[in-house]
Structure 1
Amino acid sequence: MDLTALRYFFETALAGSIRQAAERVHVAPSAISRQIAKLEHELGTALLERRSNGVRLTPAGELLAKQMQLTVRDITRVRSQIDELKGLRRGEVSLWCIEGLVDNYLPDVIGRFTQQYPEITFNIVITSTDRIVQALIADEAEIGIALNASLKQPIVNSGGWSEPVQAIVAPGHPLANRTSVTLSELTEFKAALPDTTFGVRRLVDRILESQGTVLRVLATTNSIQMTASIARQGIAFTLMPYFAVARDCAAGSLVAVPVAETEMEMACVEFCTHESRRLPLAAREFLNFLKSSAPASHNPRKKRLHAVA
């Protein structure tokens, strides 16, 4: 099969549009169409369904796109291994991460890592814990940073840290000046929570179930940022670990109030990898950097309660 045709097909599959694929590879859309038609003729089957708003993969197209994705990953690994033989410190890290770390922690770590390894680049996907685990299993990601993932072989925890879930409120919220709050007290106010694909939501649900507590949920979202934005409006609180809203709290737009129950399950940030896959040099270097840069596990709830005792 013609490598150009395969490349143009794969770019179209990724973009979902012949026009967008053409822009990415800097050729005319007609050139993309001709190469894909050539590929379809060679395979004897349609690979794409043309629609007014783009294209959709046929079952045959999905099979080819999946194989192309694996091939691209293998080529990337080979290049990293060749670079390793040369003693170079360049390459690309495929990193999938939960949304709660994108506003503060992850950019800071990448910035410090880049100072040491300026030739290493990143391909970063922000998504839910469930999707991160799926990506590691499917070999779409080299490193996943998840929260309270239900890890099973072949995915393993390679490091991380833990901290408690706290009540996150706006400065004008009735709970903002409290030194702590109980779960039963939270039932008096409306809550905004991420949906159940997020590790933090499943953690919150387990905590609530263990305490026999039911919240008045105003909004459920598929975005940590949206959840925090609702809390900033003062119309609802949310339950999250501090790291997810650290920048807002530092700026004074949100306040983190410890939850008084001392036996609650902690929020655990986990650096996840596939146990049977050897990471390329760039990814290994970054994973080691993540481990050395992880905050110490801590529980500000106990510290604050002790201070006011």
Structure 2
Amino acid sequence: MNLQALKYFDEVNRCGSFRRAADKLNVAASAISRQIQNLEYDLGAQLFERSVRGVRLTEAGELLAIRVRGIFNSISQVKSDIDDLNDLQRGHVRVASVEGVANTIFAENCARFFVRFPLVQVAIEILDAQQVVEALLSETADIGITFGISDRPELNIVKRRPGHLAAVVPRDHPLSCEDHVTLKQIAKFPSILPSTGFGIRRLIEDESDRAGVQLKIAFESNSLELIRRMIETTGLLGILPHSKALDRSPSVNFKALPITEIDKSGYMTELCVKRTRILAPPVKMLLGSLEEDF
């Protein structure tokens, strides 16, 4: 089995025809057919069902197609890594993060990183906690920052730190005189919560169930920035990550109150990567920088 044969197999699969694959690769269709026959002989299985309309994968062919994509992705990654080794100042890094952490972790960190590595391109995508995990596993993200995930063998948690949620209230809210609040106290007032896609929403609901209370949800949103703005305009209580609650203009008159049950729950924010992923040099550089600040 050789890479050339796998390349021909992949192109025939993409094109659905030996002839179209031959035209695209600028080789004779007979050469492609011969390589495919060699593959089928090596594997002891037919890979394509042939008909006058073209070809389609057999069950064995579908299994090989999945592996071939992984092989070519790995080769592409190795080529990229070798290029990066020639010049560690260049490269691309993709980060997936939950919103509540991104503002506090990335803004200053990326500013320092850019000064040191101005040719490294960093793409940061804001996702919910489960989507961050999915991005890491599908390798559409190199580095993930999420929270509240159970230990998964596929992920390497580089560093953990305690996460904190706060009940954020205007200074004239009835709870503003408190130093901390319970979910039972929060349940007495209409509130603004992150939408159900957020891991912190699941945490809030789990702890509310344990406390035997039901929150009065007036609004919910998948934008933490919008929730913060709505607290300001409506005068209602909102629940936000503590870092997001404090990330505000000095003119906004909020007070962030720790929530007793959630502080006791011990939920953690995690900096993580896929365990089997070979990290390119620029990824390692940014990961190390983030780990220092985490």
Structure 1 length as normaliser, TM-score?
0.67
Query: CA contact under 8 A between 1:97 and 1:124: conserved in structure 2?
Result: yes
1:262 to 1:225, Cα distance in 2 relative to 1, 3 A: closer
Local SS of the residue matching 1:175: helix
Deviation of the 1:241 alpha carbon = 2.5
Distance verdict in 2 for CA 1:184–1:292, change over 3 Å: same
How do 1:16-165 residues align onto structure 2 when only pairs under 5 Å count? 42=20, 75=76, 78-84=79-85, 86-165=86-165
Alignment gaps of 5+ in structure 1: 1-38, 44-62, 295-309
Does residue 252 of structure 2 align to residue 252 of structure 1? yes
The Cα RMSD (Å) is: 3.0
CA displacement at 1:235 relative to structure 2: 3.9
Counterpart-to-counterpart distance in 1, 2:75 and 2:148: 30
CA drift of 1:69 comes to: 11
Q: 1:150 to 1:244 in 2, by over 3 A?
A: farther
1:10-63 CA distance string (max 9 Å, x none): xxxxxxxxxxxxxxxxxxxxxxxxxxxxx79947xxxxxxxxxxxxxxxxxxx9
2-structure distance, mates of 1:118, 1:197: 35
2:187 corresponds to: 187
SS of the residue 2:218 aligns to: strand
Give yes or no for contact 1:80–1:282 (8 Å, CA) kept in 2: no
State yes or no: 1:172 paired with 2:181: no
User: Is the partner of 2:248 in helix, strand or coil?
Assistant: helix
Deviations 1:176-232 (A, max 9, x none): 232222221111111111122212111212221222221101122222222222222
1:72 CA drift (Å): 7.0
CA contact (8 A) 1:100 1:245 kept: no
- Match for 2:101: what amino acid? L
1:105–1:243 contact (8 Å) kept in structure 2: no
Query: Alignment partner of 1:233: what SS?
Result: helix
Question: 1:38-97, CA deviations, whole angstroms, 9 ceiling, x for partnerless residues?
Answer: x79947xxxxxxxxxxxxxxxxxxx99xx999967863552233221x252221111111
Matched letter for residue 225 of structure 1: E
Alignment-mate amino acid for residue 84 of structure 2: D
Structure 2 gaps of 5+ residues are: 1-14, 22-61
How much has 1:288 moved relative to structure 2? 1.0
Distance in 1 (CA, whole Å) between partners of 2:199 and 2:75 is: 30
1:282 to partner: Cα distance: 0.7
Given the superposition, is the C-alpha separation of residues 197 and 74 from structure 1 closer, same or farther in structure 2, using an over 3 Å criterion? farther
CA displacement 1:229-283 (0-9 Å, x = unmatched):
2222244222233112222275534320122448621342211211111111111
Aligned to 1:4: none
CA contact (8 A) 2:228 2:245 kept: yes
Q: Aligned AA for 2:273?
A: T
| Paired letter, 2:136 | L
Structure number with bigger Rg:
2
Corresponding residue number in structure 2 for 1:289: 289
Q: Is the 8 A contact 1:171 1:252 kept in 2?
A: no
Q: In the alignment, is the contact (CA less than 8 A) between 1:98 and 1:129 conserved in 2?
A: yes
Once the two structures are superposed, what CA deviation does each residue of 1:156-185 show, in whole Å capped at 9, x if it has no partner? Answer: 311131133221122332222322222211
Hey, what does 2:273 align to over in structure 1?
273
Asked whether the equivalents of residues 165 and 239 of structure 2 are also in contact (C-alpha less than 8 Å), the reply is: yes
Aligned residue for 1:136, secondary structure, equals helix
Q: Aligned partner of 2:214: which letter?
A: V
